[in-house]
Structure 1
Amino acid sequence: MRYLHILLHGLLLPLLFQLTACTTKNTQVQKETMKKETPHMADPYLWLEEVEGAQALAFAKAESTRTLAHFEKDPQFAKIKADLTKIALAEDKLPGITLINGEVYNFWQDKKHVRGIWRRTSVSEFKKIKPKWETILDLDQLAKDENENWVWGWQNCLPPENRLCLLTLSRGGKDASVVREFDLTTKAFVKDGFTLPEAKSDISWIDKDTVFVGTDFGPGSLTDSGYPMISKIWKRGQPLKEAKEVFKGGPQDMSASSFVYTTENKKYRFHFRVISFYENEIWYEDEQGLRTHLPLPSSAQMSGVFNDSFLFLLREDLKTKTQTIPVGSLVALPVSQLKNKEKALDSLEVLFTPSAKRFLNSVEVSKSAIYLNLLDNIQGKIARITHTEKGWLLEDLKMGNQGVARVYSADPWDDNYLVAYTDFLTPSSIYQGVSAHKGATWDLLKQAPERFKSKDLIVEQRHAKSADGTMIPYFIVHKKNLVLNGKNPTLLYGYGGFESPIQPFYLDSIGKLWLERGGVYVAANLRGGGEFGPTWHRSVMRENRPKVYEDFIAIGEDLIQHKITSATHLGIQGRSNGGLLTGATFVKRPDLFNAVLCEVPLLDMARYHKLLAGASWMEEYGNPDDSKMNDVLMSYSPYQNVKAQVKYPEVLFMTSTKDDRVHPGHARKMVARMKEQGHKIYYYENTEGGHAGNANIQQKILWNTLEYTYLWQKLSGKN
């Protein structure tokens, strides 16, 4: 399931321009280009889209240096950094783990291992207070030996032995990665093993000597979104250029790929054509090499294989001759029915259907059960599906209270799996379960220690009425004795896109650096997320996008109306699509906020589809080249709507030079335009980090220190 998750969801979480010698001539060409592309406005800042251009880098460095110098002078900076360092480098922090062959694997970073080490131990040893770990790969040492800035990616091991793994390492945290074959027994890279140069690649094991591979094979091999368009079969020892093409999409597709799904008894080969972010066509290839197009709607999301049936989450209603299956349902398509082609849909078996506030978020499959990670009024619940003599059996499994329980690290060739539980005030816990067990019992492996005082804190769930009357839920965390005087420093966080829900999570650094000091934290459950299933998301796609910003504004107004805070003490934060959210919102309602954290953001919606992976998001936002959609996009695009005569909050923009998913040009150009208009802003661009913003633990500490110093400086009311 790990590879399938990466294939279907990893592109969310995913053009270099050369600076010419003659700046004056180059600027004129850029202006003429913009007149053709966006008639409403010429763009004098296209040179800031040149990621590694000397002029652009000088601009980013100068602004970042100024911003860093300003906040380092703040008396709170050193104390905030010390508190964050203590949390980030704590030896007793809960390791994020996976199970491989019954052993615990973890990627770990600390003061000594800034880039990190990949390590393993036994389950029994992991349960100890100070377990003994075996280092498999030291990324700091590897980076030193190879003179590379390696950042850990992910591993794809060959089941069921899981000895050979394909590791991805990126330079500076980019989405584009190097792939190298690694042997878990020898703890070394395989000599003359499978290796791919830096690219946005797909690679999947067929057997120990064969893989499916999609990568940058040269001109004509990538989609307009920058992802693989061609997949090939590649044999061990064979030059990559001699690999045989097996599947091909088109340049306007998001990507095309092939992969193998391995269960205890069988290997299933699939070929994917990802048409857009929410549309795909899938072919199944049987043992004889016969390919069958799976007759599900293109919006259906493949979720695994179980009991020789393909599992799909429906993202729209499906009507067959025998039944009407509602959106949000999980269905099983028996492989035996594929011979009936389109009529196979009449044999779909419904495993789960949503209710008013209960929706399917994700699916994990083990050898003997299917686990559903559910959103139940935004809380995280678990259900288990097994196949019995009487058919499919769905059971709810009880864990936790008002937080998020979820199954992860489950594999279809093994019965072991892991469960995580957390909520805003409860440190995260990891449990081990076995699918064959009856009831809902798990073995607690480890719980994180408390990082802040939570006894005097309370969590509430409230609702605000958006402009169209829709009630928008949000969580609010604050001290029990909160005084409703409108003076409480309040941070409102939001995302609102790509069907990605905002759920409760342990507020470790937020608790220590914000809540303990009297701050209020608010998590918004905006439309566009997945909190209430696909319909909640689809209701604000493309032409309805402005409703998301109305939702966010409504929550801000609700907080002020109930005297929790006021505009002077209210700040907002968002990353990526959330960066667009904060950008569009502060431009629309500058009177409502006094602090804006706008991080790794989209901001120029006239050109987003021309920058890096932007073309892959047109299903979400719409195509700027379509006149009707362009009108909508230009009604809220921050870069096009910011004005000189309007007073805005002193925004802190943050991004990364190495972000090859959301182009750093978005933030750079917004900063340049606002400075030209006379607005006071702050800008910090980390030279590494990719879309995460930071490449190692020290960079993360500095990034977070800047965030909290800025928030307290702006929202405490002392400045």
Structure 2
Amino acid sequence: MIRTAALAALLASTALSSAAMAQTAPSPVPAEASGGFATSDATDPYLWLEEIDGARAMEWVEAHNEHSLGVLRGDPRFETLHQQALEIVQARDRIPGVGFNHDGSLTNFWQDAEHVRGLWRTTTVDSYRTAEPQWETILDLDALSAAEGKNWVWKGASCLPPQETRCLINLSDGGKDAVTVREFDRATKTFVEGGFVLPESKGGASWVDENTLLVSRDFGPGTMTSSGYPMIVKVLKRGQSLDQATTVFTGQPTDVSVSGYTLRDADGVVKATLINRGINFYEGETHRLNADGTTTKLALPAKSSINALVRGQLVVTTDQDWTAPSGQAFRTGDVIAWDLDRWLADPATPAQLVIRPGEREAVEGINATRNKLVVALYENVRGSVYVYEPNPAGEWSRTRLDLPQNVTVGVGSASDRDDRVFVSVAGYLNPSSLYLADAASGEAEVVKSLPAKFDATGMVVEQFEATSADGTRIPYFVVHKGDMPMDGSNPTLLYGYGGFQNSLLPGYSATVGKLWLERGGVYVIANTRGGGEFGPRWHQAALQENRQRSHEDFQAVAEDLIARRITSQPRLGVMGGSQGGLFMGAMLTQRPDLINAAVIQVPLFDMLRFHKLLAGASWIAEYGNPDIPEERAWIEEYSPYQRLAAGQPYPEVFIHTSTKDDRVHPGHARKAAARLEALGYPVLFYENTDGGHAAGANLRETARRLALEYTYLTRRLMDTQIPAPE
């Protein structure tokens, strides 16, 4: 999620030129009714900016885009940064990420300068090992978009095991989360005439057999939750219309969503048909769909995830302390397993403990080959990959894959024909490598390596810890040139996210390296609470009434950077997107004295209304419910939109969002910019009219966004003069 005058005329719906905007004084701050700014609809003068495609709102967007693009693209450094970003994102020497098919072949989705929207393609493992694999195109999204007059964005494919010739293709109009689903025949490389077609909706569809789907969609009024996701699962038979499908499960309007899927063994045989009811973002129920159409709730913790089915063992992670029906006590973060058939017959069947992570450990990824469980396990934000295998008694042994240490590892696609699995390895200064590992032997070989995309000569990575307000140690990484002066003069970009158990792990970013590090910038990543770097407890420590802890963690890292003389306020900027955009808003409104720049990407900002906008209600479990007075009180303490005030040392910020974002409402970003301008602060605001929540419908738009961000950061942090010490 990412952040200068002329509001008065814009409020009158008059689009201004860049020059006019630059010369127009900010409008007066609106008078506020009792209760404070934007604490109710009556005291929020910018609700009209929540009308996504409203004429008045879009005139406002166009005027701000014209101004901001004029400022940033007019900078003499923009074009160089833009060309560098374009070269990186369109490079053909990137590692093609692949997935195993049941027949042992590989598939990949690929975008480059000639294929902006992308190709879905396939090759063999042997060909993939070569420097120039021979790819066979399955579907050309650029050609499809041109033929149909659409701006299709790829959202993935699901193919029916074991043959995997019939597939459900998910296509998004401009990058929205909502997708159209169409049946595709990989053998003929054509959409199936008269096949399954599901109109645009949030939700999903999964195969039961070649003539049957489990579908969770918008079936009309009363079928979606308050979060905007499906509330009903139906069984759809070939030849039926959606209104003829059979309803097999109905959730509650207050749920986040419901969905259905099949649990299959390595041969593609359905072992159970399951329905997931997401009560909130972290708690749910799993129900088994029985042959007679009834459902049975399974005995699982409310906070848990089904990870894999391997050799008849159902592997589950629990995110809460839990006493199983067998009487066994498990801890938050444990990975446990049951013999599936025995457990389905008797929920009191004892489980086996597979993994119990330590205090500074976290499980970051799990997948299964035909016979093995493959796990990415991290200690103090550094990863290793372990292979687990059940013996006939159900007990699990562990071996370690032969991979580099003290890096980020990611478990990729695994084969269900044998025990091969792809594993990615990367570091901040180490270009990504892709290994093909044999989980049976423990051996691994490099099959692809990314060439260096920036000059890392003399650069180093250090890990430090800051002490948060409550005394908790917060780790963070600093990437920089080894000979940088420790005098506070280094332009420094601090990145954070801090929510939804999303871990920020070391990785190789060619654009950060080329557009920032290589030019003398310092890059910092904060592993604050709210993330998952140390497992579920690290996340849960900053939930709801404790959200402020994560903000204090991020602020502590900024203070520590300044105390170490790595940087100073005139040279320190922050960046974050989505939940991270809320993070940036909290930093801006609570500690503007620490920073001189903020890139606020597709942000949450008005936390008193977040639950009323698009998918916002689904995040109540993370933040709390503003409609409950007790919870509203703690949210109001940090909600950036309401906290913006006159007379503060706010730097000029750069906020950007997307009109097509149907997850985080663009109104958050628009209202933040409008309020700042009304208070008299300079703002750069840019809204991509396509792109969805990822803010890039295609590679060219991604490159432009990156160039805008780093031009802004250059202006704020590299051009700034630092006062001489007193």
Q: What is the TM-score when the length of structure 1 is the normalising length?
A: 0.92
Say whether the 8 Å CA contact 1:351–1:392 is kept in structure 2.
yes
> Which piece of structure 1 moves more, 672-681 or 334-343?
334-343
How far apart, in 1, do the equivalents of 2:421 and 2:502 lie?
Answer: 23
- Residue 532 of structure 1 aligns to a residue whose secondary structure is coil
For 2:599, the aligned partner's letter is L
How far apart, in 2, do the equivalents of 1:643 and 1:456 lie?
Answer: 43
- Aligned partner of 1:370 in structure 2 is 373
Cα displacement (A) at 1:205: 0.3
Cα displacement (A) at 1:342: 5.4
Taking structure 1 as reference, are residues 260 and 625 closer, same or farther at Cα in structure 2, changes over 3 Å only? Answer: same
For 1:398, the aligned partner's letter is D
**In the alignment, does 2:420 pair up with 1:419?**
no
Query: 5+ residue gaps in structure 2?
Result: 2-11, 14-31, 722-726
- Aligned partner of 1:17 in structure 2 is none
> Which piece of structure 1 moves more, 184-193 or 38-47?
38-47
Say whether the 8 Å CA contact 1:295–1:341 is kept in structure 2.
no
Taking structure 1 as reference, are residues 446 and 340 closer, same or farther at Cα in structure 2, changes over 3 Å only? Answer: closer
Aligned counterpart for 1:694 among listed residues 673, 693, 696: 696
Taking structure 1 as reference, are residues 339 and 492 closer, same or farther at Cα in structure 2, changes over 3 Å only? Answer: closer
**In the alignment, does 2:242 pair up with 1:237?**
no
For 1:394, the aligned partner's letter is R
> Which piece of structure 1 moves more, 388-397 or 628-637?
388-397
How far apart, in 2, do the equivalents of 1:106 and 1:331 lie?
Answer: 32
- Residue 343 of structure 1 aligns to a residue whose secondary structure is coil
Query: 5+ residue gaps in structure 1?
Result: 1-11, 13-21, 24-30
Aligned counterpart for 2:348 among listed residues 343, 361, 372: 343
How far apart, in 2, do the equivalents of 1:154 and 1:46 lie?
Answer: 35
Say whether the 8 Å CA contact 1:277–1:617 is kept in structure 2.
yes
- Aligned partner of 2:362 in structure 1 is 359
Cα displacement (A) at 1:241: 1.2
Say whether the 8 Å CA contact 2:39–2:642 is kept in structure 1.
no
Q: Deviations over 1:274-318 (max 9, x none)?
A: 100100111123557664321122112221222333221111112
For 1:495, the aligned partner's letter is Y
Taking structure 1 as reference, are residues 679 and 327 closer, same or farther at Cα in structure 2, changes over 3 Å only? Answer: same
Aligned counterpart for 1:138 among listed residues 137, 140, 160: 140
Say whether the 8 Å CA contact 1:263–1:413 is kept in structure 2.
no
Cα displacement (A) at 1:86: 1.7
Cα displacement (A) at 1:264: 2.9
How far apart, in 1, do the equivalents of 2:509 and 2:700 lie?
Answer: 20
How far apart, in 1, do the equivalents of 2:640 and 2:656 lie?
Answer: 15
- Aligned partner of 2:264 in structure 1 is 262
The 5-angstrom pairing of residues 74-85 of structure 1 reads 74-85=75-86
For 2:593, the aligned partner's letter is D
How far apart, in 1, do the equivalents of 2:81 and 2:277 lie?
Answer: 47
Taking structure 1 as reference, are residues 43 and 290 closer, same or farther at Cα in structure 2, changes over 3 Å only? Answer: closer
Q: What is the TM-score when the length of structure 2 is the normalising length?
A: 0.92
**In the alignment, does 2:44 pair up with 1:43?**
yes
- Residue 144 of structure 1 aligns to a residue whose secondary structure is helix
- Residue 516 of structure 1 aligns to a residue whose secondary structure is helix
- Residue 557 of structure 1 aligns to a residue whose secondary structure is helix
Question: RCO (CA 8 Å, sep 6+): is it higher in 1 or 2?
Answer: 2
The 5-angstrom pairing of residues 627-666 of structure 1 reads 627-666=629-668
How far apart, in 2, do the equivalents of 1:259 and 1:413 lie?
Answer: 21
Say whether the 8 Å CA contact 1:294–1:338 is kept in structure 2.
no
Say whether the 8 Å CA contact 1:357–1:377 is kept in structure 2.
yes
The 5-angstrom pairing of residues 572-611 of structure 1 reads 572-611=574-613
How far apart, in 1, do the equivalents of 2:123 and 2:421 lie?
Answer: 16
> For this pair of structures, how many residues does the alignment match?
688
Aligned counterpart for 1:330 among listed residues 335, 339, 351: 335
- Aligned partner of 1:299 in structure 2 is 303
Taking structure 1 as reference, are residues 644 and 294 closer, same or farther at Cα in structure 2, changes over 3 Å only? Answer: same
Cα displacement (A) at 1:480: 0.8
Taking structure 1 as reference, are residues 337 and 128 closer, same or farther at Cα in structure 2, changes over 3 Å only? Answer: closer
Q: Deviations over 1:332-390 (max 9, x none)?
A: 1333444675534xx11111111122221221122111111212211122111112235
- Aligned partner of 1:682 in structure 2 is 684
- Aligned partner of 2:200 in structure 1 is 198
- Aligned partner of 1:538 in structure 2 is 540
- Residue 693 of structure 2 aligns to a residue whose secondary structure is helix
- Residue 420 of structure 1 aligns to a residue whose secondary structure is strand
Q: Deviations over 1:650-709 (max 9, x none)?
A: 000010000000000000011111111110010000000000011000000000000110
How far apart, in 2, do the equivalents of 1:288 and 1:497 lie?
Answer: 41
> Which piece of structure 1 moves more, 297-306 or 500-509?
297-306
**In the alignment, does 2:314 pair up with 1:310?**
yes
**In the alignment, does 2:675 pair up with 1:668?**
no
How far apart, in 2, do the equivalents of 1:87 and 1:657 lie?
Answer: 25
Say whether the 8 Å CA contact 1:574–1:597 is kept in structure 2.
yes
Cα displacement (A) at 1:38: 3.8
- Aligned partner of 2:717 in structure 1 is 715
Taking structure 1 as reference, are residues 33 and 201 closer, same or farther at Cα in structure 2, changes over 3 Å only? Answer: farther
Q: Deviations over 1:23-68 (max 9, x none)?
A: 9xxxxxxx99999994597111111000111111111111011000
**In the alignment, does 2:100 pair up with 1:99?**
yes
> Which piece of structure 1 moves more, 60-69 or 397-406?
397-406
Question: Percent identity among equivalent residues?
Answer: 43
**In the alignment, does 2:409 pair up with 1:405?**
yes
> Which piece of structure 1 moves more, 460-469 or 31-40?
31-40
- Residue 99 of structure 2 aligns to a residue whose secondary structure is strand
How far apart, in 1, do the equivalents of 2:535 and 2:266 lie?
Answer: 32
- Aligned partner of 1:623 in structure 2 is 625
How far apart, in 2, do the equivalents of 1:277 and 1:414 lie?
Answer: 35
Runs of 4 or more above 6 Å deviation: 31-37
- Residue 450 of structure 1 aligns to a residue whose secondary structure is coil
Say whether the 8 Å CA contact 1:359–1:532 is kept in structure 2.
yes
Taking structure 1 as reference, are residues 37 and 480 closer, same or farther at Cα in structure 2, changes over 3 Å only? Answer: closer
For 2:59, the aligned partner's letter is A
> Which piece of structure 1 moves more, 637-646 or 100-109?
100-109
- Aligned partner of 2:286 in structure 1 is 282
**In the alignment, does 2:142 pair up with 1:175?**
no
Say whether the 8 Å CA contact 1:169–1:177 is kept in structure 2.
yes
Aligned counterpart for 2:219 among listed residues 207, 217, 220: 217
> Which piece of structure 1 moves more, 202-211 or 258-267?
258-267
Say whether the 8 Å CA contact 2:365–2:411 is kept in structure 1.
no
- Aligned partner of 2:7 in structure 1 is none
- Residue 516 of structure 2 aligns to a residue whose secondary structure is helix
RMSD: 2.1
Say whether the 8 Å CA contact 2:387–2:400 is kept in structure 1.
yes
- Residue 683 of structure 1 aligns to a residue whose secondary structure is strand
How far apart, in 2, do the equivalents of 1:303 and 1:128 lie?
Answer: 32
Taking structure 1 as reference, are residues 36 and 87 closer, same or farther at Cα in structure 2, changes over 3 Å only? Answer: closer
Cα displacement (A) at 1:607: 0.2
How far apart, in 1, do the equivalents of 2:591 and 2:352 lie?
Answer: 49
Cα displacement (A) at 1:411: 5.2
How far apart, in 2, do the equivalents of 1:98 and 1:339 lie?
Answer: 30
- Aligned partner of 2:9 in structure 1 is none
Aligned counterpart for 1:548 among listed residues 547, 550, 561: 550
How far apart, in 2, do the equivalents of 1:433 and 1:88 lie?
Answer: 28
How far apart, in 2, do the equivalents of 1:398 and 1:61 lie?
Answer: 54
How far apart, in 2, do the equivalents of 1:33 and 1:368 lie?
Answer: 65
- Residue 237 of structure 1 aligns to a residue whose secondary structure is coil
Taking structure 1 as reference, are residues 644 and 33 closer, same or farther at Cα in structure 2, changes over 3 Å only? Answer: closer
